Amino acid sequence: MRSGFRNGVRSFGSSEAGSVLMLFAIAAVVLLFLVGAAVEVWRWNAGQASMQAALDRSVLLAVQNNRMTDEYANAIFRTGFAGTVAASSLEAAPILSCEQELPAFSCSASASLPTALIGTIAGIRSLPLKVVATAGLAAGALQPGRLQVAVSEVRGGGR
């Protein structure tokens, strides 16, 4: 009985039959992970772009309307971001914080995007999203009839 088992193990180790199947199985798992990672990166990039656009809009409107407060920027941001696909994908609503250093107004938003496939395979449960926008009034913009907004800095990232 034992010798039959040993012979079976020896013949399995030296046999080349079925090696293509094993190679295909390993390649399929790797390919599945790469496709999943590509989808997750695409979702992260779409979420980052949606958050950046909503934050840019809120900062520019806050400066343009001369209402540079957290509450006003937050209301504009939530209105602009609420209807996006990225907003429905987040674990929780983005956290927005603003600072005012005249003549500039700066806000940052951060959130966490849950993963689907790479969370299961690689253990990465969520991807961070962080965007920053800063705008300021142009020199002389507060003169009557001359309201202009100059974007001094708009950057995204947080990678």
Task: Measure the CA–CA gap between 15 and 35, rounded to whole angstroms.
Answer: 32
50: CB partners within 8 A, 6+ apart: 81, 84, 85, 86, 87
* Per-position pLDDT tens, the chain of length 159: 566 667 666 666 566 666 788 888 899 988 988 888 898 899 899 999 999 999 999 999 888 888 888 899 999 998 888 878 788 888 888 898 999 887 788 999 999 989 887 777 778 888 999 999 998 876 655 554 444 444 444 444 443
Question: With a threshold of 0.85, does the pTM exceed it?
Answer: no
Output the CA torsion 61→65→68→72 (10° steps).
-70
